[in-house]
Amino acid sequence: MVKRNIISVLDMKDDMPQLVELAEKLKKERGNHGEPLRGKTLAMIFEKPSTRTKISFDVAMSELGGHPLYLSARDMQLDHGETVEDTARVMSRFVHGIMYRAFDYKMMDRLGDSATVPVISGLDNLEHPCQALADMLTIKEHLGSFKGKKLVYLGDGNNVCNSLLYACAIMGVDMIACCPAVRMPNAEIMLGAARIADQNGSKILASHEPLEACVDADILYTDTWVSMGDSTSEEVAVKIFKKYQINQELLDIAKPDCIVMHCLPCHRGQEITDDVIEGPHSVVFDEAENRLHAQKAILLTLLK
Ligand code: CP
Ligand code: NVA
């Protein structure tokens, strides 16, 4: 079998609906899966901190009968001069899959190219594909379908936003990236997503005006204003992003049953207000839980 990486949402372009369905099925099984990954090891390399990604991959591997192996990049030769290519080739002799959280997407690509086992991105500076799959599962659970739904992403056009653009385009969700002009999503990804959306009869749009973009939205989505590895100061970020905060004023112009999403961790009082994240529209903790189920679907598809 040809090995498969998932380092961009585009790597799920042909089977994202099936992956969402598999994740739904696995969620219903509540951890009783009959150990389909018995004897398999997933190595997880982290260059940056993580709560959700680390724990959900760890538990996913255990519940599927396999073995998770946590590795901090700092403690590996990778951080002391060994090339990522040699690291990938050596690791491929020991383990059945590699999950990698990297600063630089070029390192992710190099690992993906050199490993002979599947490589799964646990986030880099360009994308966060596992988050986007969990987000699609969350949308399906709460809204029932994708076509014709309107998602407005507010704030920094970052890795999470880039992956959402592709995921929405693939699943047929209309998406507006509502970001300041200086922090729009990756231009190539915007274009690529718009092309896919075109084929699916949906729309990918950009806006700088939250009060216009959020009218009749089904989903309001935000993420931190300063991502890991971003040198923007909090003071500057507050100035740039202030009007993109998800608050009651924006919720009031969205659809009455609008859901509010955030990949977490969040900064209450910055990109989202405390009352909104704790309010009845917020689905952020379902969204966090769904990382587990979405990643099980990915692990089963790539490692079984
Ligand atoms: N959403 C997400 O990836 O969270 P962590 O950084 O805690 O893994
Ligand atoms: N955009 C954030 C996501 C964290 C899960 C970051 O890269 O830090």
Helix axes 284-303, 16-28, angle to 10 degrees: 110
Task: Give pLDDT, residue 177.
Answer: 98
Atom of ligand 1 nearest to the CA of 288: 1
CA atoms within 13 A on the CB side of 142: 23
pLDDT tens digit string along 119-162? 999 999 999 999 999 999 999 999 999 999 999 999 999 999 99
Pocket test for ligand 1, best of 44, 46, 47, 50 (most atoms within 8 A of CB): 50
Atom of ligand 2 nearest to the CA of 123: 7
Residues in contact with 22: Cβ distance below 8 Å, sequence separation at least 6, in sequence order = 297, 300, 301
Helix axes 187-200, 159-171, angle to 10 degrees: 10
> What single DSSP character describes residue 223?
-
Q: How many CB atoms lie within 10 A of CB 142?
A: 16
Ligand 2 cavity residues, CB under 6 Å: 123, 158-160, 223-224, 227-228, 263
Task: Give pLDDT, residue 236.
Answer: 97
CA of 116 to the centre of ligand 2 (A): 28
Phi-psi map region of 30: left, alpha, beta (phi>0 left; psi -120 to 50 alpha): left
Phi and psi, residue 142, nearest 5° = -90, -30
Pocket test for ligand 2, best of 46, 55, 103, 123 (most atoms within 8 A of CB): 123
Q: How many CB atoms lie within 10 A of CB 76?
A: 14
Give every residue of the chain whose pLDDT is below 70, as ranges: none
Token pair of 168 as six digits: 């929405």
CA of 56 to the centre of ligand 1 (A): 10
Task: Give pLDDT, residue 1.
Answer: 72
Atom of ligand 2 nearest to the CA of 53: 5
pLDDT tens digit string along 16-58? 999 999 999 999 999 999 999 999 999 999 999 999 999 999 9
CA of 100 to the centre of ligand 1 (A): 13
- The CATH class for the domain spanning 9-128+290-303 reads alpha beta
Task: Give pLDDT, residue 115.
Answer: 98
Query: 183, 281, 291, 293: which one is catalytic?
Result: 291
Q: Tell me which fold the domain 131-287 belongs to.
A: Rossmann fold (3.40.50)
- Outline which parts of the chain fall under CATH 3.40.50.1370: 9-128+290-303, 131-287
By alpha-carbon position, which residue is closest to atom 7 of ligand 2?
A: 227
The C-alpha atoms of residue 105 and residue 163 are separated, in whole angstroms, by: 13
Query: 58, 174, 218, 223: which one is catalytic?
Result: 223
* b/e 122-137 (16+ beta carbons within 10 angstroms → b): bbbbbbbbbbbbbbbb
